[in-house]
Amino acid sequence: MWQALYRELNGKGFTVIAIALESRGATTARPWIEGANPTYPCLIDVDHSIARAYNMINVPQAVWIDENGRIVRPTESAGVTEGFRKMNPTTYEMPKKELDEGAAARRRYLDAIRDWVANGASSKFVLDAAEAKRRTPHFTDDIARAHAMFRLGRYLIERGRRDEGLRTLEAATRLDPDSWSIWRQMADLDTIGKSGGPEFWARVRALGPKHYYAPVDMP
């Protein structure tokens, strides 16, 4: 959906920058990027620097930054819903209701971006500085430590100290249990594909009424 939007709005002062949070590096991320065949910039963030900078805890999340470098919408879920929680984990089938709601959410989010590109600072979807600051995800000491532990764990694994590195990554997930990005990378570095397997679905079920994707507060 991002390639189509970029193609539509390119030349109107708008660009997409996609960043893959992938600690396994380019070899793992490349097939997904090449499959999307994007003409906008795509980066691979092995250290989760972007997640640390903007307190991103999941994918897809987005930040809107205007031409002056001001964040006009801080980190938020980008056109997704909780519908995947109704997915059959074996067949990957989803009820039509959830599919329709997901498609509608994507349309709403992309239409909001179109409005921003067309109307700039006067768009009803642009937040003033005070509101953008209020909505910016709050860092805690534990979250900061979790990011430090994440980088350390990955460093240890790269240096051949795999067991120690995985224990460090597990400690990072305990410090920031809401970060699916940290947990997913820990799971994939532990066992390739584990992040989409039974462990993932058990963790989703354990959320209970809590959100996997926080609702987007948007007109």
Domain ranges of the chain: 2-135, 141-203
pLDDT at 99: 96
Per-residue pLDDT for 192 more than 60? no
Mean pLDDT, all residues of the chain: 94
Q: What is the mean pLDDT of residues 185-191?
A: 84
Which letter does DSSP use for residue 91 in this model?
Answer: T
Minimum mean pLDDT range among 128-137, 172-181, 196-205: 196-205
Using 50, 70 and 90 to split pLDDT, how confident is the model at 50? Answer: very high
Q: What's the CA gap between 111 and 115, in Å, rounded?
A: 6
pLDDT at 126: 98
The CATH number of 2-135, from 3.30.70, 3.40.30, 1.10.20, 2.60.40, is 3.40.30
Tell me which residue of 127, 135, 125 sits closest to 72, measured CA to CA.
Answer: 127
Helical ranges in 90-191 per DSSP H: 96-119, 129-135, 141-158, 162-175, 180-190
Residue 51 near residue 62 (C-beta atoms within 8 A): no
Report CA-CA distances (Å) from 103 to 85, 96, 100, 109, 116: 15, 10, 5, 10, 20
Per-residue pLDDT for 196 more than 80? no
pLDDT at 20: 95
Residue 173 near residue 165 (C-beta atoms within 8 A): no
pLDDT at 89: 86
Q: What is the mean pLDDT of residues 149-167?
A: 95
Residue 12 near residue 32 (C-beta atoms within 8 A): no
Per-residue pLDDT for 191 more than 70? no
Q: What's the CA gap between 26 and 24, in Å, rounded?
A: 7
pLDDT at 62: 97
User: What percentage of the chain reaches a pLDDT higher than 70?
Assistant: 98
pTM above 0.85, yes or no: yes
